[in-house]
Structure 1
Amino acid sequence: MGKSKKWVSVLICSLLVLALAACNASEPKTNENNGKSSTPEPVTEGNDEELKPEAGAKLVIWEAPEQQDYMQKVGKAFEEKYGVPVTVEVVAGGDQGSRLSTDGPSKTAADVLTLPHDQIGLAVKAGLLLPNDVFEEETKAANLETAVVASSFDNVLYGYPKSVETYAMFYNKDLFPEAPKTWEEIVTFANTYNDPAKNKYAIMWEFVGYYTYPFIGSYGGYMFGDNNTNGADIGLNKGDVVEGFEYLRTLKKIVPMNAGDITYDVKTQLFKEGKLALNIDGPWSVAAFKDSVNFGVAPLPKFPNGNDSVSFSGVKSYYVNSYTAYPIAARLFASFASSKENQLLNYELTGAIPTNKEAGEDPLIKEDPITSGFFQQFSHSVPMSSVPGVDLVWEALKATFVALWDDPSLDIKTTLDNMVKTIEDGLKAK
């Protein structure tokens, strides 16, 4: 108990020092590194120069194997700027959250780590993360709102957003010189292109809640209230969702297959063969098509109600371990590593799509026909939920989409209401 109180006292004193430093801050320097060199180097200047790390500070950073080259460069640049030694340890992305839960309290965890946004709820409740308080305003101003919301819990910002992923629309450029912008355009194209006997189709997506959510989100529905954080408020049958499902059913004339027959493998092979014109998928599939299809990536099509297609998204951010011995240095590093310039460096080295708004406008992103499509769609996305028991929702959504697609005799409203009741009962039993 004595050690805990002592640590809290040190942190409070540190924050007071930060506040005084901020009051006397001068104008930040402008960074001139545009990240366009063939051998990119990490940024060594930023707007946080007035803050000073603790004397004798040294940091350990956890990073996934595929991010090692990038993080080694950033760590070296940070050490050159602040004089703080940085050690990068390889920890798989999926293991960092669980490692923090055990290694954090024993003070053997990294000072800064990366988490996907749907893991932060449990980490915050366990007291494992420090809020992004010192850099809160600039983080909010610099990054897309969806990324900021995803990196927050109970309206408190914890993360320093670094990269995003969502799905979008792959289009065959030999069939579509320009990507269609609306569902109406796709239906018109399908009326002359489709030929089921030759396995030729205009568009496909998997009938699971993740990919079919736009027919809910674009019609005023939602998974959970309060930005997908309130498990007591289920909105899958609210707004004009019935209308969304009615429109979904009209599309069976251009995708004349049962839902279970539209698998990842089926649509991937058809797209490779040039028989599928449009394929709704994520950045993880880019490599599968690079050597076989002349394709681009564009935002999902607008609906007849005029709304953009609302997809689900995931956000990865840096987080500061609440047990760090160097809370100022760790905050500085998380902010430094997530800057616009270092997000562009991460993109150049690993292909990670930035969350920073200015980075999204950079020629590196904007002139890339693949990355720009995902980035644009991300701005029309909502973060996946981290509410305990969300797995029940995924299961129920898939069953509902499949049932309403395959069986046109089912009443949409009744089916949706029954689905929500099933989810509510399941969450109560958790």
Structure 2
Amino acid sequence: MSEPQEEDLEQFIGQFEEETDHELNQESVSDMDDQLETTMPAGDGPDTWAWAHDWVGRYAGRDDPPFLYDGGDDIDVDLDTFSASAQDAVSWDGSVYGLPFGSETVTLYYNKDMVDEPPETAEDMDAIMEEYYDPDGSGTYGISYNLDAYFCSPFLQAFGGTLYDAEADELGVASDEIVQGLEFLNDYIFPYMAEDPNYEAQTAVFNDGNAPFAVNGPWQLGGFRDNVDVGVTTLPTVDGNEPTPYTGVQMWYFSATLADADEEVFDAIVDWIEWYTTSEDVILNNADRHGMIPVHTEHAQNDDIDPAVQTFAEVVEMGMPMPAHPKMDDVWEPTEDALKRVFNGEQEPDEALEQAAERVRDAWE
């Protein structure tokens, strides 16, 4: 979570504790994936954690030891409270492994002090990036962009490809369409970025007012607004093609620790998850302050929600859900490494993606 999200979470935990007899112990950890892999087998894992839905398939398949708990028979909240896509996201093979509290994706931010009208096409965006790119003079760049497969998915998949088709169990990393997407990124996005492609450095470029554009998610909305007169718009078309970003559903997971938890702990966790995912205060705050798209059906079509969030909702409709299949775990890192090799001029897009695909296939075997 971003710092503003963490601050609000602490406030909501306090509100929950005041309204109930429960007390919660919150811990913010870095590298949560690695932490879970270490603590869950040792029996020291958390009773719940917040993350996107893409870990459901991976963890649902763990049974020695288990990572998740099926809470379908324990919750009082009707799953129909949430959108159909959100219900699908928290479920796997008939089990319910958490409850959803918002959907998200990445889209285009722009600095209103630099950009009068948001670009509708990649050509429009290119002209503005070229105008401002002057790292050695004014210290400005064309765009802030994090080089991982999730952030780059809109343009990687803009030409009809998909990194991994879970339904067909087909790997598309090295397909002609994905290669074409990386060629676009290499020709029209990478040249306008700062040299350090990592998230913190890229985010700082836009946050400091040194780029007209950023591609980022709703979690960064509050932080950007504190420093930049920021606008949010849909992703520009690429040669007439609509970008196809990955989308995610944020959820509180039911941890396997709940299976052996005492009644007080069990009730506290289930009550917290139900409270957080259905509280109007939480839902509207997450929407207005953090750009989180409501998945609660009563609030999903709320016209009073921040226009920026409505834009994110439009982009979600343009995208596709991240595959929750365990095989997708092996796709992310090789694809990210390929992106960075191309960014650093070490390989051409087709060569880098074929190498990534070989790594994925080896991991699957």
TM over 0.5: yes
SS at match of 2:191: coil
Select the structure of larger CA radius of gyration.
1
Q: What residue number does 1:163 align with?
A: 102
Q: CA deviation at 1:420?
A: 0.6
Q: What residue number does 2:126 align with?
A: 187
Q: CA deviation at 1:236?
A: 1.4
SS at match of 1:313: strand
Residue 332 to residue 91, structure 1, CA distance change in 2 (3 Å): closer
Of residues 226, 234, 237, the one that matches 1:302 is: 237
CA distance in 2, matches of 1:101, 1:403: 35
Of residues 12, 20, 40, the one that matches 1:70 is: 12
Residue 132 to residue 236, structure 1, CA distance change in 2 (3 Å): farther
Q: What residue number does 1:240 align with?
A: 177
Judging by fraction of residues, say which structure has more strand: 1
Q: Aligned letter for 1:278?
A: F
CA distance in 2, matches of 1:266, 1:333: 35
CA distance in 1, matches of 2:223, 2:184: 31
1:309-351 per-residue CA deviation (whole Å, 9 max, x = no partner) reads: 4135362235373446779998677445422625426538985
CA distance in 1, matches of 2:49, 2:339: 34
Q: What residue number does 2:92 align with?
A: 153
Q: What residue number does 1:122 align with?
A: 59
Match status 1:394 vs 2:329: no
CA distance in 2, matches of 1:193, 1:261: 18
CA distance in 2, matches of 1:76, 1:278: 42
State the percentage of identical aligned residues. 20
Of residues 125, 136, 142, the one that matches 2:82 is: 142
Of residues 192, 206, 212, the one that matches 1:277 is: 212
SS at match of 1:87: coil
Residue 427 to residue 134, structure 1, CA distance change in 2 (3 Å): same
1:125-149 per-residue CA deviation (whole Å, 9 max, x = no partner) reads: 335412436879953563362x334
CA distance in 1, matches of 2:97, 2:12: 23
Aligned length: 343
> Which runs of 5 or more structure 1 residues have no equivalent in the other structure?
1-63, 80-85
* 8 Å contact from structure 2 (residues 107, 232) kept in 1: yes
Of residues 216, 221, 227, the one that matches 1:292 is: 227
Q: What residue number does 2:164 align with?
A: 224
* 8 Å contact from structure 1 (residues 217, 311) kept in 2: no
CA distance in 1, matches of 2:62, 2:181: 36
* 8 Å contact from structure 2 (residues 104, 312) kept in 1: yes
Residue 336 to residue 266, structure 1, CA distance change in 2 (3 Å): closer
SS at match of 1:129: coil
Residue 323 to residue 265, structure 1, CA distance change in 2 (3 Å): closer
Q: Aligned letter for 1:256?
A: P
CA distance in 2, matches of 1:168, 1:323: 42
Q: What residue number does 1:57 align with?
A: none
* 8 Å contact from structure 2 (residues 109, 232) kept in 1: yes
Residue 210 to residue 237, structure 1, CA distance change in 2 (3 Å): same
Q: Aligned letter for 2:286?
A: Y
Q: CA deviation at 1:155?
A: 6.1
CA distance in 1, matches of 2:112, 2:275: 39
RMSD (Å), alpha carbons: 4.3
* 8 Å contact from structure 1 (residues 67, 350) kept in 2: no
Q: What residue number does 2:138 align with?
A: 198
Q: Aligned letter for 2:238?
A: F
